């Protein structure tokens, strides 16, 4: 401050109401020996810069130079002019630090442009009419330049945010439409475990998108949620109705199968004679329906045990019958060896008598168990019987009087035809008629073959 300026009286400029009065600065005598360590921070501006932008009147009023005018920023009456300027210079440094931080964050990248613009706006408000000493206009210019450079990035962020919101709406709409498609389907034919699992996955995806995705407007979010909730409610209602009906069906089947088990267990005293009745109960069991896996397994174990007891009795009886059939099998095998002579007997009557005796002895032996062995032995005897029957049919045809008479009559006719053809052949050969001779010769050869077939 020049001597001319100090000689002029400072006009009484009232301090702005929003600017707080700085605290009283302690006098050097009141400062403890350790005061240098706790002293206030030194302004980052040089003394020349502070003197350029600030001045202090005799009554401690501090002013800052902005444009072509001086503006009062506060009073510091209890300290020296240098202390007063340093105090308000540090206020400027605080604002300048915020400006540098915003510029560095913008240059480093990664920070949200819209957030930086908002913060720059707050700092700009703080730098406007600030109670500080320094190049406040320069700070505001830097802030305006920063805001302008962020405008394009802010627009891009807004566009990207809109695209993310549109994508989130499309994704949630797809979840809603899938849930509505499930609800609109024929729920009487679905696999409820699969449907429940799919709806659960849709709901989990919905929650994940809601937590990590962009925030949708309240109207769109509520509209989509209402559609999703209503579709899920329709499916849940049908699922509860299905399982209620299934529980009723299981209870009915469980009661019916319990009664079948009791009836099957009551057949035990009848032994093998109870098997036909058990088979009927088994058909009823298959028609009774499902009673639930746990109940079905337990009831089936009892039902099967009752049947096993009956079939065990039959197996014991079959084993006893098979043991009794061993000598019978040997006897029939011996008769089969004897029956081989039937085929070797040339006289058909004696062959028939031999087979008839073997058949009587065969029947006298009685039934053989198991039935498979009996059928195998019967099949071997039946082959011998059919061979003899075939021989008898051939013999009957050969020795039948009517057959012989027809054969003799046919032989006479063929012989007459042969005699006539021989005469025709001789006449044709004598006359040299080759064509007539050829026809007579062919016809004669055919008649002789037929006569030979008749055994003449």
Please tell me the predicted confidence (pLDDT) of residue 63.
93
CB atoms near residue 132 (< 10 Å): 26
Please tell me the predicted confidence (pLDDT) of residue 223.
93
Predicted model pTM = 0.41
pLDDT above 90 (res 356) = yes
pLDDT above 70 (res 26) = no
Q: How many CA atoms lie within 13 A of 229 on its CB side?
A: 7
Angle (deg, nearest 10), helices 136-184 and 218-265: 30
Please tell me the predicted confidence (pLDDT) of residue 227.
93
Mean pLDDT of 227-250: 89
pLDDT above 80 (res 136) = yes
Q: In whole angstroms, what is the distance from residue 35 CA to residue 264 CA?
A: 106
- 3-class SS at 12? coil
For 86-111, the pLDDT digits (tens) are 999 999 999 999 999 988 888 887 77
Q: What percent of the chain has pLDDT over 90?
A: 23
Q: In whole angstroms, what is the distance from residue 353 CA to residue 356 CA?
A: 5
């Amino acid at each position: 401050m020049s001597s001319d300026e100090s000689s002029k009286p400072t006009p009484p400029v009232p301090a702005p109401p929003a600017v707080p009065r700085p605290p009283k600065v302690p006098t050097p005598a009141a400062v403890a020996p350790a005061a240098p360590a706790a002293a206030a921070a030194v302004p980052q501006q040089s003394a020349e810069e502070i003197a350029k932008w600030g001045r202090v009147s005799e009554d401690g009023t501090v002013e800052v130079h902005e444009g072509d005018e001086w503006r009062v920023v506060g009073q510091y009456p209890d300290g020296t002019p240098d202390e007063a300027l340093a105090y308000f210079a540090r206020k400027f440094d605080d604002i300048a630090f915020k400006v540098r931080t915003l510029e560095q964050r913008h240059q480093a990248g990664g920070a949200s442009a819209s957030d930086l613009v908002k913060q720059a706006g707050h700092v700009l408000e703080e730098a406007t009419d600030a109670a500080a000493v320094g190049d406040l206009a320069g700070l505001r210019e830097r802030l305006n330049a920063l805001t302008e450079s962020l405008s394009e990035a802010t627009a891009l962020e807004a566009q990207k945010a809109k695209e993310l919101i549109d994508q989130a709406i499309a994704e949630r709409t797809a979840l809603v439409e899938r849930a509505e498609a499930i609800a609109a389907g024929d729920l009487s034919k679905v696999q409820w475990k699969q449907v429940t699992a799919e709806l659960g996955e849709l709901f989990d995806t919905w929650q994940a998108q809601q937590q990590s995705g962009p925030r949708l407007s309240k109207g769109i979010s509520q509209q989509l949620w209402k559609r999703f909730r209503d579709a899920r409610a329709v499916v849940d209602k049908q699922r509860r109705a299905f399982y209620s009906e299934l529980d009723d069906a299981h209870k009915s089947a469980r009661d019916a199968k319990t009664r079948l088990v009791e009836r099957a267990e009551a057949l035990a005293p009848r032994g093998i004679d109870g098997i036909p009745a058990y088979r009927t109960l088994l058909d009823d069991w298959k028609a009774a329906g499902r009673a639930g896996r746990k109940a079905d397994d337990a009831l089936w174990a009892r039902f099967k045990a009752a049947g096993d007891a009956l079939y065990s009795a039959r197996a014991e009886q079959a084993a006893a019958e098979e043991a009794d059939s061993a000598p019978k099998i040997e006897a029939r095998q011996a008769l089969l060896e004897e029956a081989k002579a039937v085929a070797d007997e040339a006289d058909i009557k004696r062959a028939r008598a031999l087979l008839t005796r073997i058949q009587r002895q065969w029947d006298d032996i009685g039934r053989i168990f198991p039935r498979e062995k009996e059928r195998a032995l019967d099949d071997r005897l039946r082959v011998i019987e059919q061979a003899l029957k075939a021989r008898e049919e051939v013999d009957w045809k050969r020795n039948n009087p009517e057959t012989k008479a027809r054969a003799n009559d046919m032989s006479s006719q063929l012989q007459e035809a042969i005699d006539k053809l021989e005469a025709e052949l001789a006449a044709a050969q004598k006359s040299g008629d080759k064509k007539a001779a050829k026809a007579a010769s062919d016809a004669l050869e055919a008649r002789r073959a037929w006569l030979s077939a008749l055994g003449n």
